[in-house]
């Protein structure tokens, strides 16, 4: 396969996703966390558009699918891991901890369970034929959105809530729950509309309406809540399904 056959619109968008993810890692470890949400947004948009472009141009290839997973591993696996690592590291440093630097690195490295489980999630997704119209387990972009919401609360504190949400115990809980949810046998609805009728899309429209209300009222504080809402609606859909 020639070089020029690889350079098509879907693959270029996937590479943009990967590039933005790499830049998010660079900004995190260079203490420029304020740039990370913008990089995540670019990755999310590119990840959405590459699939759309592949369908529109009828240029869906096996290489494109594999490339998409590799890009997602960085943007939606490594990025949330390094962000949580940095948040934990800063918390240990700022609270006057008597731990040695080596121990702080060790305790903060628990954040890298996120990319470990993201890799399992993506490998499973590539082989699981059940996940064509919906997801089994929490998708990696949702994990990154949740973690970005936590980061936004650090950058733009929301009254007294930020101190509770951004604490060492809370972050360890996020790591454990997000890791387990990625590989859980939990059906979760996707945003692939076969049509725009209300019937059959009730959960999607409900989620969109409630998310818009949360964003309008809580702004940055709503970002992580939207992912919690997504998980709860998926759970309700599973419980109510006959």
pLDDT digits (tens, 9 = 90+) for 110-152: 999 999 999 999 988 877 767 666 788 899 999 999 999 999 9
How far is it, in rounded angstroms, from Cα 222 to Cα 206?
A: 16
**The pLDDT of residue 58:** 66
What pTM does this model have?
A: 0.90
Cα–Cα distance measured from residue 11 to residue 71, given in angstroms and rounded to the nearest whole number: 10
Residue 65: what pLDDT?
A: 83
Asked if the structure places residue 105 within a domain, the reply is: yes
Three-class SS of residue 8?
Answer: coil
pLDDT number for residue 194: 60
Residues 205-212: contacts with CB under 8 Å, at least 24 apart: 206/233, 207/233
Q: How many CB atoms lie within 10 A of CB 190?
A: 12
Is 237 within the bounds of a domain?
A: no
* Residue 66, domain CATH: 1.20.120
Domain annotation covers residue 61: yes
The answer to the question of residue 211 being in a domain is: no
Q: What are phi and psi of 216, to 5 degrees?
A: -70, -35
Count CB atoms within 10 A of the CB of residue 67. Answer: 19
193 in a structural domain: no
Which ranges of 30-100 does DSSP label H, i.e. alpha helix? 36-56, 62-73, 79-94
At residue 115, the pLDDT reads 97
What residue ranges of the chain have pLDDT lower than 50? none
70 within domain boundaries: yes
Q: How many domains does the chain have?
A: 1
User: Is 110 contained in some domain?
Assistant: yes
What are the tens digits of pLDDT across the range 159-170?
656 677 889 999
- 172 domain-assigned: yes
Sign of CA dihedral 115, 231, 172, 221: positive
21 closest CA partner among 123, 141, 138: 141
DSSP 201: -
Q: Which two tokens stand for residue 35?
A: 């740039």
Predicted pLDDT of residue 175: 98
pLDDT of residue 13: 92
The residue segments making up the domain with residue 37 are 3-188
Query: What pLDDT sits at residue 73?
Result: 96
């Amino acid at each position: 396969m020639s070089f020029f056959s690889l350079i098509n619109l879907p693959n270029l968008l996937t590479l943009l996703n990967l590039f933005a993810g790499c830049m998010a890692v660079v900004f995190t470890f260079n203490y420029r966390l304020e740039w990370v949400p913008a990089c995540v947004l670019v990755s999310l948009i590119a990840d959405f558009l590459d699939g759309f472009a592949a369908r529109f141009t009828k240029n869906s290839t096996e290489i494109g699918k594999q490339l998409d997973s590799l890009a997602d591993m960085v943007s939606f696996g490594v990025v949330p891991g390094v962000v949580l690592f940095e948040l934990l590291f800063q918390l240990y440093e700022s609270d006057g901890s008597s731990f040695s630097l080596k121990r702080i690195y060790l305790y903060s490295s628990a954040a890298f369970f996120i990319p470990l489980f993201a890799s399992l999630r993506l490998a499973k997704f590539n082989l699981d034929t059940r996940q064509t119209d919906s997801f089994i387990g929490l998708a990696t972009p949702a994990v990154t959105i949740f973690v970005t919401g936590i980061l936004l609360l650090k950058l733009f504190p929301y009254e007294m809530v930020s101190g509770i949400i951004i604490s060492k115990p809370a972050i360890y809980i996020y790591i454990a729950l997000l890791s387990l949810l990625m590989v859980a046998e939990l059906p979760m609805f996707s945003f692939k509309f076969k049509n725009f009728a209300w019937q059959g899309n009730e959960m999607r429209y409900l989620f969109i309406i409630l998310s818009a209300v949360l964003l309008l009222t809580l702004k940055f504080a709503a970002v992580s809540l939207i992912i919690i809402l997504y998980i709860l609606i998926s759970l309700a859909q599973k419980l109510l399904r006959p």
